Amino acid sequence: MTNLIPKNHPRAHSLYVRERLVNAFDDGLVAKEGLMAHGRGEAFDYLIGEKTSKSAKNAIKAAAFALVSAKHPVISVNGNIAGLCPREIIELSKVANAKIEINLFYANEKRKQTILKVLHKNGAKEILGVDKKNSTRISGLDSARRIVDRDGIYIADVVLVPLEDGDRTIALKKAGKKVITFDLNPLSRTAQTADITIVDNVVRGIRELIDACEKTQKKKLRNMPFDNKKNLAKSISEIRNYLTRRARIA
């Protein structure tokens, strides 16, 4: 992977992430629609100041508790996630004792196998969602994402779905799953429907989620009250305050 971005560039992190995703597209991990989705998310990242907010940290703590206390937690992986943070996903799965399942909106076998190779290369042992014999369906979806693994999302009680689409969030909720998502747009259907929405760039937030899971394991917490609607309202307020400050500076 080439890195053409100087480390002292004022937006080095965002440009590096963008470059990494383009490389992932060239390598066959990411669908072209995934590039478009990233661009939309990047725009919202500017609105939160390209940093992890207080409301996002609250959601991360709640997500960590949900994952650690779940009986059958599953991390759903698509091409964007495999291209941006494969090592972190695998580390999170170990800390939270969660299974990893490949689940794609724009599905094709070649891209699925490419994602599988990347996950194995980064240390993953068991990857679900690749054995057709073990597949089944969840109702309420027309896309390929309705096809899930019997030992993964199908039986999961908690599902982490980074960079999710609204239809599947709704379908998973109707199937009795608790849904955790990363979504930089606090007003999206996904953000508003999920049980726990982390309004943060997944590349930043995933590291914080790993740390939070480790701390939760040590503290052995029994309860973690969390209201997603109220936390999203705080996130919107943070965006409004940030834009107001920026307007004053300008």
| pLDDT higher than threshold 70 for residue 42 | yes
With 0-12 / 13-18 / 19 or more C-beta atoms within 10 angstroms meaning exposed / middle / buried, residue 93 is buried
- Cβ atoms within 10 Å of 206's Cβ, excluding its own: 24
The residue whose two tokens read 């991990």 is 29
138: helix, coil or strand?
coil
How many other C-beta atoms lie within 10 A of the C-beta of residue 99? 21
Q: Mean of the pLDDT values across residues 29-33?
A: 73
For residues 239, 202, 72, 131, the Cα torsion angle rounded to the nearest 10 degrees is: 140
Count how many residues are written for the chain.
Answer: 250
Q: Comparing 24-38, 97-111, 123-137, which segment has the lowest mean pLDDT?
A: 24-38
pLDDT of residue 116: 94
8 Å CB contact between 101 and 89: no
30 vs 8, higher pLDDT = 30
Please state whether beta strands 147-149 and 158-160 pair in parallel, antiparallel, or not at all (unpaired). unpaired
Q: What percent of the chain has pLDDT over 90?
A: 58
Count CB neighbours of 42 within 10 A. Answer: 16
Name the least confident of 81-90, 134-143, 206-215.
134-143
For the chain, give the mean pLDDT.
Answer: 87
For residue 137, list its beta bridge partners. Answer: 147
pLDDT at 68: 95
CA atoms within 13 A on the CB side of 32: 0
- Greatest distance between any 2 Cα atoms in the chain: 59
- pLDDT tens readout for residues 157-175: 999 998 767 888 999 999 9
**What is the chain's percent helix, strand, coil content, to nearest 5?**
55, 10, 35
pLDDT higher than threshold 60 for residue 22: yes
Find the mean pLDDT for residues 87-102.
96
Question: Looking at residue 55, what is its pLDDT?
Answer: 97
Please tell me what DSSP assigns to residue 104. -
Give me the mean pLDDT over the 181-196 stretch.
Answer: 94
- The Cα 134–Cα 149 span in angstroms is 6
Q: How far apart are CA 108 and CA 79, in angstroms?
A: 11
What is the mean pLDDT of the segment spanning 95-109? 89
Question: Is the pLDDT at 115 greater than 70, yes or no?
Answer: yes
Residue 11 has pLDDT above 80, yes or no: no
CB 92 within 8 A of CB 176: no
Tell me the whole-structure pTM to 2 decimals. 0.88
Question: Lowest-confidence range among 2-6, 45-49, 71-75, 194-198?
Answer: 2-6
The reported pLDDT for the residue numbered 9 is 42
Residue 100 belongs to what H/E stretch? strand 99-102
Q: Is the model more confident about 185 or about 21? A: 185
In order of start, what are the domains of the chain with their CATH numbers?
A: 54-238 (3.40.50.12640)
Q: How confident is the model at residue 13 (pLDDT cuts 50, 70, 90)?
A: low
Cβ neighbours, 10 Å, residue 26: 11
Strand partners, 147: 137
